[in-house]
Amino acid sequence: MASPTRSSSPVPSLPPPRPKSPPQYPDLYGKRRELLKVQMLEREIGFLEEELKSLEGLQPASRRCKEVHDFLMANPDPLIPTNRKIRRSHRFWKWLCGKSCFNFSWICCCFSGCSLRLSMPSCCNCCPSMKCWFCRWPRCHWPRCSWPSCTWPSCTWPSCTWPSCTWPRCACLRCTCPHCTCIHCHCPHCHLPTCCCCYFCCCLEKPSCGQCCTLPSLSCPDCDPCSGCTCSCPKCTKVCHCSNCTKTCCSPCYLC
Amino acid sequence: MSVAELKKRHIAATATVNALREQLKQKRILLLDTDVAGYARSQGRTPVSFGPTDLVCCRTLQGHTGKVYSLDWTSEKNRIVSASQDGRLIVWNSLTSQKTHAIKLPCAWVMTCAFSPNGQSVACGGLDSICSIFNLNSPNDKDGNLTVSRMLSGHKGYVSSCQYVPDEDTHLITSSGDQTCILWDVTTAQRLSVFGGEFPSGHTADVLSVSINGSNSKMFVSGSCDATARLWDTRIASRAVRTFHGHEGDVSTVKFFPDGYRFGTGSDDGTCRLFDMRTGHQLQVYHQQHDGEVPLVTSIAFSISGRLLFVGYSNGDCYVWDTLMAKVVLNLGSLQNSHEGRITCLGLSADGSALCTGSWDRNLKIWAFGGHRKVI
């Protein structure tokens, strides 16, 4: 085996490596952000100086207050009590209403000469629980009052707990009235007490659950001769839902 | 210029801005020679007087299984859409209390809802940063849910409020936690204009509410966590027309006054204010002294005439302010059958005959005038 030959001349040694430090990158991100902030502030200064200038010669606030005052005094408001003179003829009906309210309330309310019939039937004393507008309020048990809301106390819509039910399809309302526009429950297993939130059902037919429409006074027998179908509004044009009724009733406003 | 020099310029510019704002504030104080209530007293006006049964709750709309966050009436018929923590929108017939639609939302974290002017669509938005549009006439999917007809994507933060431009079913304005408002073309789902953001001057914190001027739909006002309200012209997105200072907390709600020249604001500082759009004057402050913690204003609405200002508070109160006299004339929160929790939203029907309130108690209630027209 031949031995490696050694060179006779010395090999110059390389200098030790000197790794360079990474170059210093300019802090562009911070500078640009700072520049942007300054630009926005200087723009804001311009806007504020413009606004200060616009205040020169600006009229005081009293001028605008007067405009608000004049506007408010000029326009009526359906939610604000107003004062109106009450005619003598109405006072008679009001008195009559108060004396024999159960029988004459609907007359009073329908009385075309009633000066207060403006969206406020005047048999307000007839309804034992609340004023006439609210005779249709669910909690009023006035025999003539029931439409349009369901007062079934155990109505638990939409909290059906049957596992296979998925709200809102399961609304626990088994109303089968063809006119009903309630969200119906299609769950065959729904076991919660159902209620009829559709006025129609109480008069036309009972829903299939058999538990609904047990409200007093508005079940079908009471609809003949439509004692449950009186409407106090003289302008009413809606068809009564009772199959035997020939009266018309309506709700021109949500308060009826 | 070095970063250090820029920082010096920043400090100097900030000081200049603050000094100019202080100058503006002082000049405005000098121009406030009276407020609306002071002027009305000088004319001998007296506050509106309500009897205990004049404004009553005549409907309770039950059905949501979570807190109600937002509501809106249709512009013609008496329908209401409400949005709730239960992740659903419900469309109600306010006359009959019946529910006509119950829409399960793709994102349950909804914060706002609105009806389109024609009443055929509803829009909603929330923590998904998207404004979703539903056509109420479209058929349900196989699961019985109404499908989204448009998704307006572009905000980089939650959608806090939305409103359709009056009489324009194709345009809608949203406000967002990303500090901007956006005008959308609903048909193409495109952003037409972005108001605010980093480059154009705008709000410097989350925007919580918008209100479009019913008399001039090119103008709208926004309220923000930066304690200001800003007036915008939809034709000029580059800058706000005017900034309204005065509140000391987040401006959580804004509403235009019926005359179209003023707007009201409500804030976490517990006050409501009436500002003049054209001059910037703060015309009135509506503030009630409280012992202890000051309740936050969550929602406001003007009656159709503007004489009444309905204000919902975080403690469940719903004050009815006489706008003219700056007096509380009624507290719906103390009436029989009132809400049992914070009132989060309220709105007047199109004909002004009814107020609907929504609450953390999961219900909506409708209030109307139940009193007599009194005898002189």
Domain ranges of chain A: 31-56
User: In angstroms, what separates the C-alpha of A198 from chain B's closest C-alpha?
Assistant: 8
Look at B62 and A157 and tell me if their CB atoms are within 8 Å.
yes
Least confident of A187-201, B22-36, B147-161: A187-201
H/E run at residue A159: none
**Each residue's pLDDT tens digit, B115-147:** 999 999 999 999 999 999 999 999 888 877 889
**Cβ distance A111 to A93 under 8 Å?**
yes
**Each residue's pLDDT tens digit, A30-79:** 788 888 888 888 988 998 999 999 999 899 999 999 999 999 999 888 88
CB nearest to A45's CB, from B16, B45, B49: B16
pLDDT at B92: 93
Instruction: Produce one character per residue of A12-43: b if its CB has 16 or more CB atoms within 10 Å, e if not.
Output: eeeeeeeeeeeeeeeeeeebeebeebbebbee
A 13-32 residues with CB below 8 A of B? 27, 30-31
pLDDT at B112: 97
Q: Say whether pLDDT at B179 is over 60.
A: yes
> Going by C-beta distance under 8 Å and a sequence separation of 6 or more, which residues neighbour residue A23?
none
Q: Say whether pLDDT at B167 is over 60.
A: yes
- Please name the residue ranges forming H helices in chain B: 3-31, 36-42
pLDDT at B174: 98
In chain B, pLDDT over 70 holds for what percent of residues?
98
DSSP state of B128: T
**Each residue's pLDDT tens digit, A138-173:** 333 333 332 233 333 333 333 333 333 333 333 333
Q: Is B293 exposed, middle or buried (0-12, 13-18, 19+ CB in 10 A)?
A: exposed
Look at B31 and A55 and tell me if their CB atoms are within 8 Å.
yes
Least confident of A96-110, B119-133, B202-216: A96-110
Residue A181 CB coordination number (10 Å):
15
Q: How far apart are CA A113 and CA B118, in angstroms?
A: 38
In chain B, pLDDT over 90 holds for what percent of residues?
81
pLDDT at A81: 76
Among the ranges A15-24, A147-156, B53-62, which has the highest mean pLDDT value? B53-62
pLDDT at A199: 30
Q: If pLDDT is split at 50, 70 and 90, which confidence band does A103 have?
A: very low
> Average of pLDDT values for B71-83?
92
Q: If pLDDT is split at 50, 70 and 90, which confidence band does B315 have?
A: very high
Q: Say whether pLDDT at A85 is over 60.
A: no
The better pLDDT of the pair A82, B264 is held by B264
Q: Which of B167, B138, B172, B179 is nearest to B152 (CA)?
A: B172
ipTM above 0.90, yes or no: yes
Contact list in A for residue B7 (CB cut-off 8 A) is: 34
User: Would the pTM count as exceeding 0.90?
Assistant: no
pLDDT at A168: 38
Q: Say whether pLDDT at B177 is over 90.
A: yes
User: In angstroms, what separates the C-alpha of A18 from chain B's closest C-alpha?
Assistant: 31
Look at B3 and A30 and tell me if their CB atoms are within 8 Å.
yes
Token output for A247: 């009266």
Q: Which of A145, A155, A236, A153 is nearest to A193 (CA)?
A: A155
The per-residue pLDDT of chain B, averaged, comes to: 93
pLDDT at B269: 96
What are the backbone dihedrals phi and psi of residue A110, each rounded to the nearest 5 degrees, phi first?
-90, 0
pLDDT at A35: 87
Q: CATH top-level class for B36-369?
A: mainly beta
CB nearest to B371's CB, from A81, A137, A181: A81
Query: How far is residue A40 from each of residues B17, B198, B315, B318, measured CA to CA in Å?
Result: 11, 9, 39, 40
pLDDT at A32: 82
Query: How far is residue B84 from each of residues A175, A245, B67, B162, B346, measured CA to CA in Å?
Result: 26, 41, 5, 15, 14
DSSP β-ladder status, B55-61 and B364-369: antiparallel
Q: Say whether pLDDT at B26 is over 80.
A: yes
What are the backbone dihedrals phi and psi of residue A50, each rounded to the nearest 5 degrees, phi first?
-60, -45
Dihedral angle over CA of A228, A232, A238, A243, nearest 10: 20
DSSP β-ladder status, A83-84 and B374-375: parallel
CB nearest to B3's CB, from A27, A198, A199: A27
Q: Say whether pLDDT at A254 is over 60.
A: no
Look at A52 and B24 and tell me if their CB atoms are within 8 Å.
yes
Q: How far apart are CA B132 and CA A20, in angstroms?
A: 57
Among the ranges A207-211, B56-60, B310-314, which has the highest mean pLDDT value? B310-314
**Cβ distance B87 to B66 under 8 Å?**
yes
Q: Say whether pLDDT at A178 is over 60.
A: no
The better pLDDT of the pair A5, B346 is held by B346
The better pLDDT of the pair B302, A205 is held by B302
User: In angstroms, what separates the C-alpha of A116 from chain B's closest C-alpha?
Assistant: 8
Look at A43 and B54 and tell me if their CB atoms are within 8 Å.
no
The per-residue pLDDT of chain A, averaged, comes to: 51
SS3 B10: helix
Q: Say whether pLDDT at A13 is over 70.
A: yes
What number of residues does chain A have?
A: 256
Q: How many CB pairs under 8 A join A and B?
A: 236
pLDDT at A141: 35
pLDDT at B371: 63
Q: If pLDDT is split at 50, 70 and 90, which confidence band does A207 have?
A: very low
| Chain B, nearest residue to A84 by Cα | B375
pLDDT at A14: 78
Q: Say whether pLDDT at B234 is over 90.
A: yes
What are the backbone dihedrals phi and psi of residue A107, each rounded to the nearest 5 degrees, phi first?
-65, -45
Q: Which of A240, A238, A202 is nearest to A221 (CA)?
A: A202
> Average of pLDDT values for B266-284?
97
> Average of pLDDT values for B222-251?
95
The better pLDDT of the pair B352, A119 is held by B352
| Chain A, nearest residue to B323 by Cα | A72
Q: How far apart are CA B363 and CA A157, in angstroms?
A: 13
Q: Say whether pLDDT at A112 is over 60.
A: no
